[in-house]
Amino acid sequence: MKLITAYDLRQLSEQAANSPRLRANHNLHPELSDPVQRLAIAMAPGTYVRPHRHPHTFELLTALSGRFLVLHFDEAGYVTRRVVLGEECKLLETDADTWHAVLSMDKDGVIFEVKHGGYQPVTEHDSAPWAPAENKPEAETLMEWYAQAQVGERFTRYRSAALVAQ
């Protein structure tokens, strides 16, 4: 039997708050090669999730504690869906190959994720070219925009080198 207790959630949140990326995860799957990835991810406010996609799998999310803003985007970076997970929405599935990002809204927020494995890190090709990389100072500006973004809007205060070259 595999469990995630309230104590585990508190410990995971504490680990996230003390980690450089402000995230920590607890895997239920035994190996990264497991065909079904199942994990709790503590995400402290301020952690940056660059818009990305998973060409090979859906992504199922539910909030174990706290609230999370989930945004879906089209290819050009326009918001197509905006959902607060952990309020009225309790479970959300993002289709494969859909651009999406998550913003942690609360201290001690933990989200649970299920998707097809084995584990495949997000490549640069599957990271939105219209959004700054994780280590860029503009990422903070994008997160501020996430909080206010509405369906039909596009983030325009940052242009990647790839877009500027076009």
Please compute the mean of the pLDDT values over residues 124-147 and round it to a whole number: 94
The pTM score is 0.91
On whether the CB atoms of residues 81 and 146 are closer than 8 A, the answer is: no
């995860």: which residue's tokens?
Answer: 25
Q: What is the pLDDT of residue 166?
A: 36
Q: What is the pLDDT of residue 137?
A: 87
Q: Give the count of beta carbons closer than 10 Å to the beta carbon of residue 137.
A: 8
Q: What is the pLDDT of residue 157?
A: 65
> Over the stretch 90-119, which tens digit does the pLDDT of each residue have?
999 999 999 999 999 999 999 999 999 999
